[in-house]
Structure 1
């Protein structure tokens, strides 16, 4: 396996995240600490020592140890969970909602980033640093969670999903609580088929074993994360754990009485972002209480309307005192929205660093001044690692057409045009451009003469020319269409490259899932990436050809080099 940095981050990341990575001074005013300042982590650790109002560490540690033990986590993760009780312990945290079989690749990359930063900071700070993955089971965006994409050998991208029960009127149940329907077994089999492996493949068995032991989507994903990373010490946290929700209650209570102040700070930060030319990441209804209420069947946003807290459908209605009493006695029925989630995280855990992706970075830029409303301070925000996995078949196709990974990431349509134009012995574009010009020249002379016959003939002739040029354009398009059909194998190669490296016009890490790669290449590349030094930004990972993982074993990993031999640097 070889690793090569991608220089043009704008090919895979939005502008704000690129500035955060490469030009931090442009966005510094939206954050407390710079992730590029080594001393920032020590200052954050010192700041945490001044915050004494948090829940007892021992209670959080017990809840995490019990939850991970129930997931059959390995001893390194259980020891890490127990060690959170140490007064010197710090936490590196990151998270994601549960997607099918862990969802897009970036979920796994976040877990890897959490492990990397915990290991690195434990060495530099000389203190225990616990890696925690916050599995956002309380999320309600079923459309985002219920999709798994797999590329077949012809370059077709297949979107798989599970037939979860239809959304009920008045709200969606938390996605983590959705029962694993029997179709999950068929989904795993379809992933294996599209990935080109047998039903008895060891990685298929991992997916199937986790499915059998889980009762809902949240548990399935949690068990998969444990299977992948508990040996490395990753601790999985489910915020819907009743013990943790009970410990979160004081912060949620404070959120109810500080709703207006929260929204003032959000609006002020949004205005600052807009003045700097950035689009705000959060657009929260000022009436939103920043809390959801779960009645056991559905999760609904709480809104402040006419002196009461209600939902959008009028099904719920609480006077302030009634809601405060409900929160006091049933905190497990409440969950935070996107604004409060990071604050609940920092309330429960001594977070020294928060590992985030591009979207989270943009909305955290609006939260800097919300943290102090709860006696908290924003931690160091560190970017998650980013990778594009380049399979051997991609390298072969790129070499065949004299292209680079960057050509596909930057503009796959331009690459397609260039390759097909190279196969165009007729000179299609030039011939049709000449034909268009000839028609225009002929009509220009003709219309000059016709105008002397009757002036009204010029606009009629111009309309007639427009129709002729439309027909020329139609023939131009049909010619290219037949040209592509004539070179179907080339078109399929280009389809496959685009589907592999920039599927659906998106960065690979936002679409593809990790398990087809584990099926085809084993886990050696994953274990190698965990050990590799990361320079930051985004890396191209050139995977080695597949081997029999059962013969090689999980530790027979290759080494990560700086640049893949014979592969031009991406610019």
Structure 2
């Protein structure tokens, strides 16, 4: 299976912050701990091993055995579950929302990145076990972000009222979604697999957390993937000392605000805005923010008012009712896992860059941060079409209008570049400026106005000529547009829109193994895979 790579900066789809991080820009070095490499990750294991206690391992092992008790998984995953109880075992983690039927393709790429990095580390360091982890974002409450996926240009959507943590949502109503999905699938062997997978995932499980665990396990159990649900009383009991400090000292707000200010001074935008208390309260299907008003803790839109002693008692007796928000979830994860590296998308890494000094303040090792693999899947047909149209890989990533204009200029039988005429015109006006300066200085304004007018006229003529050539070469333009729209749906990265089912329908059970073979998590470039 052929693969090509492209620097992330050249794709035009990644922020300056992420590109500068990948380039190891000196200005960013104080915002992260260790840059991802095999040697740095092994050093991270030494540091994390000193921090992560035997009690934490026992609690984690016990909680995961309970979470997996009804899951039919592989020998590889069962072995990794047991290994987590051992002092020489460490995790590489990614996290993702509970998107319907995995959501966009990058769900796969995140998990494949952790699987492949664990494999690479295990080959280089035989003294430790490196275990891939998918952290389910079961406590998120943004249902509108996860209740659909795109398939063959149409949205397959789960319409229902929802509130509270999405992991607790009933799967009721998804039978109707399956029927709509099946109508688009067809009757092939691969279509039947997808239909059965959807049915077994959502119709045979009562809530979204259990359904998503089943789905991820079915897709990746052969690679020993461990799936973690943080919404667990046993795991949250390990986090209570940090929740207590958050309630009493509002420490994350202070430290994250300071570090965010340093980032913004460098010209990087704030990804997540810290609140005074970055915690939610979960109870009776509702998840709402905790707010301190004077000396009382209240829960937004709930009839809950607690004094300091009452909320600390609530924390001690019911740790499962306290839920970290996007800023505290990374700390929760690093407290309860023997984790070395977090693998995420550009937006996720951006808010991790706001957190390092907070981690230092609370005494938790800051993990290595790795940008997940980004991938464009194209078929052999697409590759040949691009070749016949003379479209290079970098040009395929251009914004569509720029791609078309470049191509028209390249293939037109007349020159559509008035740069030479502009230079000639500017030279003539330089002479006029000299004459104006020697005769009447007030004449310079009239010369300038005429120069602007004539240069603008050249721009208009060039644009009109380009439009005329587009019409003349409309067939070529349309084939170019069709090609780019096929591999960049909605003129955006394929991985952010397309569901894996589209490619599984065509390539079946070979799809995930082929991607596992192709992706290199430490490669540092955008990957184009031809299937």
Q: TM-score range by the shorter chain?
A: 0.7 to 0.9
Residues 312 and 494 of structure 1, relative CA distance in 2, 3 Å threshold: farther
Equivalence map 1:172-187=2 (5 Å): 172-180=163-171, 181=173, 182-187=175-180
Alignment partner of 1:239 out of 227, 230, 235: 230
Shift of 1:135: 0.7
Question: Are 2:525 and 1:538 aligned?
Answer: yes
Contact 1:251 1:347 in 2 (8 A): no
1:519-539 Cα offsets, whole Å, 9 max, x none, are 111232421332346252334
Question: Are 2:77 and 1:77 aligned?
Answer: yes
2:14 equivalent in structure 1: 13
* Partner SS for 1:310: strand
Shift of 1:426: 11
Shift of 1:107: 1.5
Q: Give the Cα separation in 1 of the matches to 2:216 and 2:113.
A: 14
1:91 equivalent in structure 2: 91
* Partner SS for 1:227: helix
1:122-143 Cα offsets, whole Å, 9 max, x none, are 2333201221110111111222
Equivalence map 1:147-296=2 (5 Å): 147-150=148-151, 152=152, 157-165=153-161, 167=162, 172-180=163-171, 181=173, 182-189=175-182, 192=185, 200-259=191-250, 261-285=251-275, 287=276, 289-296=277-284
Q: Give the Cα separation in 2 of the matches to 1:254 and 1:332.
A: 17
Q: Give the Cα separation in 2 of the matches to 1:68 and 1:493.
A: 50
2:425 equivalent in structure 1: none
1:53-77 Cα offsets, whole Å, 9 max, x none, are 5743122112213323423221211
Structure 2 residues without counterparts, runs of 5 or longer: 419-456
Q: Give the Cα separation in 1 of the matches to 2:319 and 2:477.
A: 56
Q: Give the Cα separation in 2 of the matches to 1:72 and 1:338.
A: 31
* Partner SS for 1:116: helix
* Partner SS for 2:67: helix
Q: Give the Cα separation in 1 of the matches to 2:184 and 2:355.
A: 39
Q: Give the Cα separation in 1 of the matches to 2:292 and 2:317.
A: 21
Q: Runs of at least 4 residues of structure 1 off by over 6 A?
A: 420-430, 479-482
Contact 1:301 1:312 in 2 (8 A): yes
1:435 equivalent in structure 2: none
Shift of 1:483: 4.5
Shift of 1:361: 1.3
Residues 313 and 4 of structure 1, relative CA distance in 2, 3 Å threshold: same
2:354 equivalent in structure 1: 366
Contact 1:105 1:514 in 2 (8 A): yes
Residues 65 and 138 of structure 1, relative CA distance in 2, 3 Å threshold: same
Residues 62 and 410 of structure 1, relative CA distance in 2, 3 Å threshold: same
* Partner SS for 2:356: coil
Q: Give the Cα separation in 1 of the matches to 2:385 and 2:2.
A: 18
Equivalence map 1:62-461=2 (5 Å): 62-125=62-125, 126-150=127-151, 152=152, 157-165=153-161, 167=162, 172-180=163-171, 181=173, 182-189=175-182, 192=185, 200-259=191-250, 261-285=251-275, 287=276, 289-313=277-301, 315-418=303-406
Structure 1 residues without counterparts, runs of 5 or longer: 431-468, 545-571
Contact 1:71 1:223 in 2 (8 A): yes
1:234-265 Cα offsets, whole Å, 9 max, x none, are 00011113332334333323322231x22111
Residues 174 and 497 of structure 1, relative CA distance in 2, 3 Å threshold: farther
Residues 137 and 82 of structure 1, relative CA distance in 2, 3 Å threshold: same
Q: Give the Cα separation in 2 of the matches to 1:426 and 1:127.
A: 65
- TM-score (normalizing by structure 1): 0.77
Contact 1:62 1:82 in 2 (8 A): no
Q: Give the Cα separation in 2 of the matches to 1:190 and 1:127.
A: 48
Shift of 1:380: 1.5
Shift of 1:494: 4.3
* Partner SS for 1:93: strand
2:454 equivalent in structure 1: none
Residues 183 and 393 of structure 1, relative CA distance in 2, 3 Å threshold: farther
Shift of 1:10: 4.3
Residues 355 and 179 of structure 1, relative CA distance in 2, 3 Å threshold: same
Shift of 1:52: 5.3
Residues 543 and 18 of structure 1, relative CA distance in 2, 3 Å threshold: same
Q: Give the Cα separation in 2 of the matches to 1:331 and 1:481.
A: 67
Residues 188 and 245 of structure 1, relative CA distance in 2, 3 Å threshold: farther
Q: Give the Cα separation in 2 of the matches to 1:278 and 1:526.
A: 35
Q: Give the Cα separation in 1 of the matches to 2:257 and 2:406.
A: 47
Alignment partner of 1:528 out of 492, 506, 514: 514
Residues 10 and 71 of structure 1, relative CA distance in 2, 3 Å threshold: farther
Q: Give the Cα separation in 1 of the matches to 2:157 and 2:414.
A: 45
Shift of 1:209: 2.2
2:450 equivalent in structure 1: none
